Amino acid sequence: GDILQQLKEAKVPRVPTLVCHGDIDDQETLTPDWWEEQNPTPTPNPYPTPFPSHFHAPSPAEVLAGPSSSASNKRKAPDDGHDTASVPPPEGVASSQPPFREDSPLRRHKHYRLVEEEVALPLNEFQSGKQLIKIVRDCVIAHYHATVDAKLVHRDISSGNLLIQPKILWVQDPDHPQKERLAIKFAGLLADWEMAKSTDPQQQGQRQPERTGTWRYMSVALLSHLKANVEVCDEVESFFYIVLYHAVRYLESNLNDNTVANYIDGFFDQYGFDNDQYTCGDKKLSTIMTGKLANASTKLVFAATGMNKILENLLSWFHANHIVTEYDRTLRECQSGSAATHSPLPPSSGCPRHSTPPPRPPTPPSPSPSSSVSFARGEFAFEADIKARKAPSARIRQTKHDWAPSAEQRELARLVVTHDAMLDYLDDALEWDAAEWEHSECVGDRVPLAWRLERKMSAAALTVTSSKRQKLSDTVQSEPLFL
């Protein structure tokens, strides 16, 4: 609510309009209380921290309940008279609430209500590929104004947060130019700003890493732990993944339905595991690294020419951005490591190089005939014979690799640093000839129902340590499936 108010004051378009918001008075979640009952402290006086002066202390009847009562395991006011400092409450919980157990893994929450003016549709209700592009374009506009005017970055660009807002407007009647008629227009709405963060370094605070982003649509750099903070290029990449996801799932293409289901699962839901942490899945990573949309050896082609052009061009931008950022990052690491050790980089460091390799040491003189005969009679006669018969021009030369990005790649990489290029490109795409958007009608959910039911049943049968599960459904999660 506070963030929506900030967006409203900054006049950011294409975002929900705040009506009112606030906590429910005299209410808090009870889960921490139950945890404390199930995990009693062994000390007779587990809470040396006093109640705030404005909090109601336990009555004598509550105190006399005795150790056999379940209330004895809950919070109590200390009776030792020590005036210790109060334990700070969790973020978002008012100081008027009672203190909590320091060893409790649960955070205290209160029910919160938020009222917005708009009533919108989910993104999967789009009717055509062109309408999908328009909805995404509108949300990119909202994201642009939020970063520029309100100094906020959304940090959770996902399909569930892009909505379709129907609007009833007066438009010119094409049959009677002098008259107007009512028509329904659809616009994009970028919602769910609770994870937004200020772009001002002085206002940035700590955030829980597991609450940043939705796994399906996070950038390769964030999923690969190559950066900690969400930047504009990461959010723009998330918009690209939203277009790709809905195009594959709801538009006609050269993939059959079962292949569509497996493609979505492999690209958006799967993950890697490296150094004891979850990382980007292989299919998404390989797509960005190669710059090609394919399923195995089959190139992904949509029936709508316009959708093919949009996805291929945008992918080339993110492919170039990945190459440039990886090269620059590796170069910085190598330079910092070289400066720290004050020694030249070892040849096997794998760092990119701009200079030519050092000259080879001089070739030793050829042995005399007598020494050759003596050597040939030794242990390595066979190898010596091969070397003697090999012509110098036939020797295999090492291939020189130039890992530096090209000027064209650096130019493409700059297109995703800001919103401008994507906004201009999507605006142009909406003005393309009608032929570009033929066969772009939504054909319904192409993930077979039997496939979805099988996934749900298998997921329910698994014993997992986390309640967050990534299923192939419209309900998205922020983490991969923990098996």
Does 199 lie in the same domain as 79? no
d(CA 265, CA 143): 28
CA–CA distances in Å: residue 184 to residues 123, 188, 273: 17, 13, 47
Tokens linked to 154: 């959304």
Helix, strand, or coil here: 256?
A: coil
Find residue 198's DSSP bridge partners: 152
User: Cα–Cα distance between 102 and 148 in angstroms, integer?
Assistant: 40
Query: Helix (H, G, I), strand (E, B), or coil: what is residue 150?
Result: coil
DSSP 165: E
User: Encoding tokens for residue 245?
Assistant: 């996801």
Question: How many residues does this entry show for the chain?
Answer: 483
Torsion-angle region of 296 (φ positive above 0: left; ψ -120 to 50: alpha; else: beta): left
9 domain residue, yes or no: no
Task: State whether 106 and 132 are in the same domain.
Answer: no
Q: Is residue 196 part of a domain?
A: yes
Decide if 362 is inside a domain. Answer: no
- 200 lies in the same domain as 278: yes
Residues 122 and 92 in one domain: no
In angstroms, the CA 311 to CA 248 distance is 11
Same domain, 141 and 50: no
Q: CB atoms < 10 A from the CB of 244, how many?
A: 23
CB atoms within 10 A of CB 392: 6
Q: Which of 78, 110, 142 is the last residue of a domain?
A: 110
For 269, list phi and psi in degrees, rounded to 5: -105, -25
β-bridge partners, 87: none
Q: In the listed set 76, 110, 144, which residue is the last one of a domain according to the structure?
A: 110
Beta strands in 281-418 (DSSP E): 294-295, 298-299
- Note whether 178 and 315 are same-domain residues: yes
Helix (H) or strand (E) holding 14: none
Residue 282 lies in a domain: yes
Q: Vertex 207, ends 205 and 209: CA angle to 5°?
A: 150
125 and 57 fall within a common domain: no
Same domain, 118 and 181: yes
CB 408 within 8 A of CB 225: no
Domain boundary among 47, 81, 110: 110
How many structural domains are present in the chain?
2
Domain membership flag for residue 367: no
48 and 191 in a single domain? The answer is no
Which pLDDT score, from 0 to 100, does residue 60 have?
44
| Distance between CA atoms of residues 41 and 101, nearest Å | 9
The answer as to whether 40 is a domain residue is yes
User: Nearest 5 degrees, angle CA 52-CA 55-CA 56?
Assistant: 135
CATH number at residue 438: 1.10.510
Mean pLDDT by 10 residues, the chain (483 residues): 92 94 82 81 58 46 40 37 41 50 76 91 97 98 96 95 94 86 94 90 57 87 89 96 98 95 94 89 95 92 97 97 91 73 45 46 46 44 52 49 82 96 97 96 94 69 42 43 35
CA–CA separation, 422 and 380 (whole Å): 65
**Do residue 129 and residue 102 come from a single domain?**
no
Pick from 245, 218, 246, 223: nearest CA to 234: 218
Query: How many whole angstroms separate alpha carbon 47 and alpha carbon 320?
Result: 57
Taking the C-alpha atoms of residue 222 and residue 285, their distance in angstroms, rounded to an integer, is 11
Domain span at residue 35 reads 25-110
Do 34 and 88 lie in one domain? The reply is yes
**432 neighbors 306 (Cβ within 8 angstroms):** yes
User: Which pair of structure tokens corresponds to residue 394?
Assistant: 């036939």
Q: Do the Cβ atoms of 190 and 161 come closer than 8 Å?
A: yes
Judge if 293 and 208 occupy the same domain: yes
Question: How far apart (Å, rounded) are the C-alpha atoms in residues 189 and 164?
Answer: 6
419 in a structural domain: yes
- Measuring CA to CA, how many Å separate 211 from each of 138, 467, 475? 25, 14, 16
Q: For residue 325, is it within any domain? A: yes
The per-residue pLDDT for 385 is 55
